[in-house]
Amino acid sequence: MNDLTSLTLKEALDGLAGRRFSSVEITRAHLAAIAAARELNAFVLETPDKALAMAEACDARIAAGDAGPLEGAPLGIKDLFCTNGVRSTAGSRILGDFIPPYESTVTANLWRDGAVMLGKLNMDEFAMGSSNETSAFGPVVNPWKSRGSNRSLSPGGSSGGSAAAVAADMVLGATATDTGGSIRQPASLTGTVGVKPTYGRCSRWGVVAFASSLDQAGPLAKTVEDAAILLASMSGHDPKDSTSLPVEVPDFRHSVGRSVKGLRVGVPKEYRVDPMPPAIEALWTRGVEWLKDAGCEVVEVSLPHTRYALPAYYIIAPAEASSNLARYDGMRYGLRVDGATLDEVYDRTREEGFGPEVKRRILIGTYVLSAGYYDAYYLRALKVRRRIADDFTRAFETVDALITPTAPSAAFGLGDSAADPVAMYLNDIFTVTVNLAGLPAISVPGALDDAGLPLGLQVIGRTLDESTMFSLAGVLEKAAAFRAKPQKWWIR
């Protein structure tokens, strides 16, 4: 039998259903892989006892012929998702050892379908970051290394722990969240597949809030088909979330491998940034040719307000964050630092509880919402957001999807952008428009650059048309034939 941790989710589910191995066996294999890869710092909490108990229950259901769609599959959970009875911190000191007495809807859906929880995955604090360096638990290390270098690289963020765990074969798949690119950018930097679904496709209930009008849960996986399987389980209407869409969930797996002949795919001319790294330009060109070879018509389209997306995003997201994070005051749960007065308790708790990046965004958000600046910044940003969404609406009148690069670079060194927040924010240049417009998008690994690091292609779909998006992604995945894996240097 091959190493069980090298299997894709689909292969593992087939093996479990065929009784070629048990859930306990594959769970033990992944727990051993996690223990051997602690140098990557992908997990902030391992839950081996819970995982094995869940695996035993899965094996009993499989034996009884009562298996769910994910029965017995060991997964990792981003620490932004509240898990009943299991510490959930959002990567922040301010939540301390908070143990939720409830389960997020997304993770409840996974357990309903038979998945096994291996533990909680590292992330940028409150999902604020593009390098997984703002976590209170320290940075995650990308499993990939540049050719001929031993330097530690970033896995991207904020879902860096999820991406690293998938890339290093510590999990069969992982939950993640995407507010401005936090699923797709890490996917691109780690050679994995990441899906940001339509806003409202997955419930936000029980997911610690960053920017409520932008946050959306989605999967990180090894293949497009694996991502489709996970998204089907994660999705569904939830009356506890007022933004959850009351729509049926398609079986996204059936879209992977479907013919795309006759589809029209747009190439946004505004996404050609200057300077565009040659390797990314070359991959984008190849991606277009792959779609043409599959029978697609590829045309240039214009999204004229793209240039304003990053400024608008970095007004709207901090504004919503400043409001959402006001609840962390040391009164009800989490960290509490005593003081002589109530105001002093608030001040000391928030000073010690929040990291520098979270404080920066709270201050920006408070500023743009303050009297005298609300109209000049926040309202104007909302108007720009509307224009960006209108650009996509017009584009989708003539095309079925869009193809772009996912990120402006391959994985970069830990610490490279830590002192320059603007440089870090620019990592989201190809992804934030999708969140502002509420659209679905997927990142698919397409090639290695000259340093041997993975690069991703992004497919953007119409609202609630993840099916077409998965079909196109499947074509790109097949044409790219990306089989590269990081060398397991952490196993000594």
Residue numbers annotated as active site: 78, 158, 182
Instruction: Return the CA Rg of the chain.
Output: 21
Question: Is the Cβ–Cβ distance between 402 and 301 less than 8 Å?
Answer: yes
- Exposed, middle or buried by CB within 10 Å (0-12, 13-18, 19+), for 358? buried
β 264-268/401-405 pair status:
parallel
- Residue at 58: amino acid letter: C
- Exposed, middle or buried by CB within 10 Å (0-12, 13-18, 19+), for 278? exposed
Question: Is the Cβ–Cβ distance between 339 and 348 less than 8 Å?
Answer: yes
Q: Which two tokens stand for residue 233?
A: 């389980």
- Residue 299: in which H helix or E strand, if any? strand 297-301
Dihedral sign from CA coordinates of 271, 419, 78, 321: negative
- Using CA atoms, how far apart are residues 185 and 158, in angstroms rounded to an integer? 9
- Using CA atoms, how far apart are residues 15 and 250, in angstroms rounded to an integer? 24
- The gap from C-alpha 96 to its chain's centroid, in whole angstroms, comes to 23
